[in-house]
A and B are shown apart, each in its own frame.
Chain A
Amino acid sequence: QVQLAESGPGLIKSSQTLSLTCSVSGGSISDGDYYWSWIRQPPGKGLEWIGYIYHTGISYYNPSLKGRVTMSVDTSRNQFSLTLSSVTATDTAVYYCARVYSAYHNWFDPWGQGTPVTVSS
Chain B
Amino acid sequence: DIQMTQSPSSLSASVGDRVAITCRASQDISNYLAWYQQRPGKPPKLLIYGASTLQTGVSSRFSGSGSGTEFTLIITSLLPEDVATYYCQKYNRAPFTFGPGTKIDVK
Measured CB to CB, the residues of A under 8 A from B are 46-49, 60, 62-64, 96, 101, 105-114
Q: Is the interface of B mostly helix, strand, loop or mixed?
A: loop
A57: min CB distance to chain B, Å: 17
Separation of A117 and B99 alpha carbons in the complex (Å): 23
The interface stretch among B12-20, B39-47, B59-67, B72-80 is B39-47
B97 lies within 8 A of A49 (CB):
yes
Question: Which residues from 15 to 67 on chain B have a C-beta closer than 8 Å to any C-beta of chain A?
Answer: 32, 34, 36, 42-46, 49-50, 55
A101 lies within 8 A of B49 (CB):
yes
CB-CB nearest in chain A for B89:
A107
Question: Which residues from 70 to 107 on chain B have a C-beta closer than 8 Å to any C-beta of chain A?
Answer: 87, 89, 91, 94-101
Which 3 interchain pairs have the tightest Cβ spacing?
Answer: A106-B91, A109-B46, A111-B43
**How many interface residues does B have (CB within 8 Å)?**
22
B94 lies within 8 A of A106 (CB):
yes
Given known pairs A47-B87, A107-B91, the reply for A96 and B43 (CB within 8 Å) is yes
Separation of A64 and B98 alpha carbons in the complex (Å): 14
B98 lies within 8 A of A46 (CB):
yes
Contacts of A101 in B (CB 8 A): 49
Contacts of B97 in A (CB 8 A): 49
CB-CB nearest in chain A for B97:
A49
**Given A46-B99, A62-B95, 19 more pairs with CB closer than 8 A:** A46-B87, A46-B98, A46-B100, A47-B87, A47-B89, A48-B98, A49-B96, A49-B98, A96-B44, A105-B50, A106-B94, A107-B46, A107-B49, A108-B36, A108-B44, A108-B46, A109-B46, A112-B43, A114-B43
B49 lies within 8 A of A111 (CB):
no
Separation of A79 and B65 alpha carbons in the complex (Å): 36
Which residue of the partner chain, among A47, A48, A60, contacts B44 with CB atoms under 8 Å?
A47
Complex A-B: 20 CB contacts under 8 Å: A46-B87, A46-B100, A47-B89, A47-B101, A49-B95, A49-B96, A62-B94, A63-B95, A96-B43, A101-B49, A105-B50, A107-B49, A107-B89, A107-B91, A108-B34, A108-B36, A108-B46, A109-B55, A111-B43, A111-B44
